[in-house]
Structure 1
Amino acid sequence: MNNEKRLVPKLRFPEFTDAWEQRKLGKITNSYSGGTPSVSIPNYYGGNIPFIRSGEIGSENTELFITEDGLNNSSAKLVSKGDILYALYGATSGEVSRSLINGAINQAILAIKPHENFSSEFITQWLKGKKSHIVSSYLQGGQGNLSAEIVKNLVIFIPQNKEQQKIGTFFTALDCYITIHQRKLENVKKLKKSLLQKMFPKNDQKFPEIRFPEFTDAWEQRKLGELAKFNPKSILPDTFKYVDLESVSGTELLGYKTENKYSAPSRAQRLAQKGDIFYQTVRPYQKNNYLFDFEDKDFVFSTGYAQLRPQINGYFLFSRLQEDNFVRRVLDKCTGTSYPAINGNDLSEISIRVSDNPKEQQKIGTFFTELDRYITIHQRKLENVKKLKKSLLQQMFV
């Protein structure tokens, strides 16, 4: 009885009560991996057979296509839409997906085909839930490869077919929900990127392409150093909330560490004041920048940010600094290759076009601030659903 109690999940559809059975994955599935046609023979490539590589197992598109000759004269193997594809090698080791297309696979992918009465979607979701365990058990420090033998010998606890189907259908619907929200988020981010390009003038232009109709004056050229005070000096409090370069993602503050003035990292230097802009000077292409909008007087940012105290509308200036053309100009002035960086003096010398009309600045700043909030809300919703799925994977499988 104790053994049977152990072989049931914590969370279950109420109509199912039977104990789950323990099986090796290789005993309930057939599996095979593929190969790669010789790249030195041109007529093996450019055909109409999608060639799926490990980073493409969940994609509807592939970068490469092979010919019938390439398929027949190599170890590449065909797979069908709906087959389970499991990544064995490289950065995607342990990733799993149902194939979205008919195609051929290389040696870095294991195709898994369940026997009759065993659900592909159930097995796929089980493998997703066990990814961390599998990777930590068989890959040293994330290095190395998995093998077909390792996957075949994985021990899976499995219910009767009807329960498999119901669990699989549930997680398929949850995955669809996640995908829809991911696409919505990506579309809003693309919209913001497009609007940033069109609502601020290009380098050689005096007028933006899209504009609120009540404003018509030409925009003026100004150095950043004329628009904001850079890295103002301040005295740090004895204890403070420290924000390092990992604490900001996009335009959102993810968290902070409480530090003591006398033991804090040496980079903890920038005491924030409401309205300050903190611009990421190390790898600025990441665009992890933050407008500090709190009354708190005990937040201190890393010197990995340039601190700008705006003398024009801060929300407007903050939006201006996120625009891709501006980021490219920053990168042109950066030093270093692996970690390109710009110092505050060089940043302050960059000239940008700005509206001199405070009302236009406010309207543009407010518009992008609301768009950023909308993006943040959707990002959090998506993260919460992903956390929910992770929790359910742990509770609905043995």
Structure 2
Amino acid sequence: MIEPYSEKVHGEHDFEVLTSSREGLQRQIDHFGSQQRHDTDGYNIIPLGFCTYRNRSDDGRFTFNINKISDKAIVSKFYPVFRFKNANSTFMTEYLNSSARARKKLSVLAVGTSQVVLSFEALKSAKFDLPCKEEQDKIASLLECLNERVELQRSFVDALKKYKRGLQNRFFFKRSHLSPKASEIDSHDVEPLGSVVHINPKTGSLPEAFIYIDLECVESGVLNSKKLISRNSAPSRAQRLLEEGDLLYQMVRPYQKNNYYFQKGFEYPTVASTGYAQIRCSEMDTQFIYEQLSSDYFAREAMLRSTGTGYPAINADDLAEIPIWVPPLNQQEKIGAALSFLGEKIEVHQKLLSALCSVKSSLLQQLFI
């Protein structure tokens, strides 16, 4: 059923590099966030409609993808390129990716210890019980419609995120870097963060029962309630007793921007890890400050002031020195509300995307028992 394709690229070329990931086949610049520099001599050419997979895995799972991106593309030497004969490519890739039986069989065929390898020859030797081509085509037609809907939703979410980042950069990056002599702003429009908010304000003693927010509890600015530690199980080093309206800024690896706007909603008092800086806004609009702390500009400034290699971190004194834009309060409220509205819209459509992915996953489980 498998027909290999062995054309390679040598020397100078105008092919774009693709990466086969569990999220699909992606342009390498999109997957890594930047252009990667490496020698592409001998890379495999993957024509439009052909399939590939990364033949190395840390957990024994392999993901198969179809090139639907570009008719001039290449992939790593470790990505075999092939197409299916007398079988529907969409059906086959979904089957190999979603069927528990297929995944188990492929993991058995893979060899190695810490990192296992599924060779192309081993893949070709695998045997599966499959429906006829006509039935494959019908199933693939349904899956392609669902995939298209998922990708449209994902593209819309990405566009909303990009639009919000653009607004944040326009508001915060340019203004925070302007000279006080610039005609657009007055000298008091840019201030060190520590001069307009309270960082790690003094709090009372810890109560006997409380909710504990560790660094692992916040993901992309959203609190994962399943990872919360309740009552007396928090480590003794936890010292940040939160009040409603406090902000948490992640001090370790600040580029992750896992900041959290604390709004009271727990039965017990809430304590945060010292891995966060606790920020209290008394005379500033809290939402405005939260949006500024979540911007690319602030993450870059925090990283420039961080120390360490594997887990770079910024201390409270350096955090307090980062310049931020401080417009009048009424302007802060308008900007904070606008960015908050976009954030809520992103959250709504992100949930819809997750729901669509769940529908697809459930359907695949029923199809490929």
Task: Name the TM-score class by shorter chain.
Answer: 0.7 to 0.9
Closer, same or farther in 2 for the Cα pair 1:266/1:34, shift >3 Å?
farther
Between the aligned partners of 1:49 and 1:349, the Cα distance in structure 2 is 45
Closer, same or farther in 2 for the Cα pair 1:223/1:381, shift >3 Å?
same
| Per-residue deviation, 1:323 | 2.3
More displaced, 120-129 or 90-99? 90-99
Alignment match, 2:273:
302
| Per-residue deviation, 1:251 | 2.2
* Alpha-carbon contact 2:18-2:27 (below 8 Å) kept: no
Q: Superposition RMSD on alpha carbons, in Å?
A: 3.3
* Alpha-carbon contact 1:199-1:209 (below 8 Å) kept: no
- Which of residues 359, 380, 389 is equivalent to 2:330? 359
The residue type equivalent to 1:129 in the other structure is: S
Closer, same or farther in 2 for the Cα pair 1:382/1:142, shift >3 Å?
farther
Alignment match, 1:121:
90
| Per-residue deviation, 1:275 | 0.5
Closer, same or farther in 2 for the Cα pair 1:278/1:48, shift >3 Å?
closer
The residue type equivalent to 2:367 in the other structure is: M
Between the aligned partners of 2:347 and 2:240, the Cα distance in structure 1 is 25
Deviations 1:165-202 (A, max 9, x none): 11111111111111111111111111111101112313
Closer, same or farther in 2 for the Cα pair 1:77/1:290, shift >3 Å?
closer
| Per-residue deviation, 1:269 | 2.8
Closer, same or farther in 2 for the Cα pair 1:190/1:48, shift >3 Å?
closer
- Which of residues 212, 221, 224 is equivalent to 1:254? 224
- Which of residues 273, 276, 286 is equivalent to 1:314? 286
More displaced, 232-241 or 305-314? 232-241
The secondary structure found in structure 2 opposite 1:156 is coil
Closer, same or farther in 2 for the Cα pair 1:241/1:384, shift >3 Å?
farther
* Alpha-carbon contact 2:244-2:263 (below 8 Å) kept: yes
Between the aligned partners of 2:298 and 2:98, the Cα distance in structure 1 is 42
The secondary structure found in structure 2 opposite 1:239 is coil
| Per-residue deviation, 1:97 | 1.3
| Per-residue deviation, 1:99 | 1.8
Query: TM-score when scaled to structure 1?
Result: 0.76
In structure 2, the gaps of 5 or more residues are 30-34
Alignment match, 1:341:
313
| Per-residue deviation, 1:390 | 1.7
Deviations 1:13-40 (A, max 9, x none): xxxxxxxxxxxxxxxx124364866xxx
In structure 1, the gaps of 5 or more residues are 1-28, 38-43, 65-69, 211-215
Alignment match, 1:182:
154
Between structure 1 and structure 2, the one with the greater Rg is 1
Closer, same or farther in 2 for the Cα pair 1:195/1:30, shift >3 Å?
same
* Alpha-carbon contact 1:282-1:340 (below 8 Å) kept: yes
Percent identity of equivalent pairs? 30
More displaced, 274-283 or 239-248? 239-248
Alignment match, 1:97:
65
Alignment match, 1:371:
342
Alignment match, 1:12:
none
| Per-residue deviation, 1:240 | 2.3
The residue type equivalent to 2:363 in the other structure is: L
Between the aligned partners of 1:187 and 1:300, the Cα distance in structure 2 is 35
Query: TM-score when scaled to structure 2?
Result: 0.82
Alignment match, 2:47:
80
Summarize the alignment of residues 385-396 of structure 1 with structure 2, pairs less than 5 Å apart: 385-396=356-367
Deviations 1:45-101 (A, max 9, x none): 22355565646972468979xxxxx7xxx6x66543212222213679712111224
The secondary structure found in structure 2 opposite 1:82 is coil
Between the aligned partners of 1:382 and 1:49, the Cα distance in structure 2 is 31
Summarize the alignment of residues 11-22 of structure 1 with structure 2, pairs less than 5 Å apart: none
The secondary structure found in structure 1 opposite 2:129 is strand
Deviations 1:134-161 (A, max 9, x none): 6765476862321123322434231122
1:274 aligns with 2:240: no
- Which of residues 181, 187, 191 is equivalent to 1:222? 191
1:287 aligns with 2:254: no
Closer, same or farther in 2 for the Cα pair 1:231/1:97, shift >3 Å?
same
| Per-residue deviation, 1:289 | 0.5
Between the aligned partners of 1:209 and 1:252, the Cα distance in structure 2 is 38
Q: How many aligned residue pairs are there?
A: 347
Closer, same or farther in 2 for the Cα pair 1:31/1:268, shift >3 Å?
farther
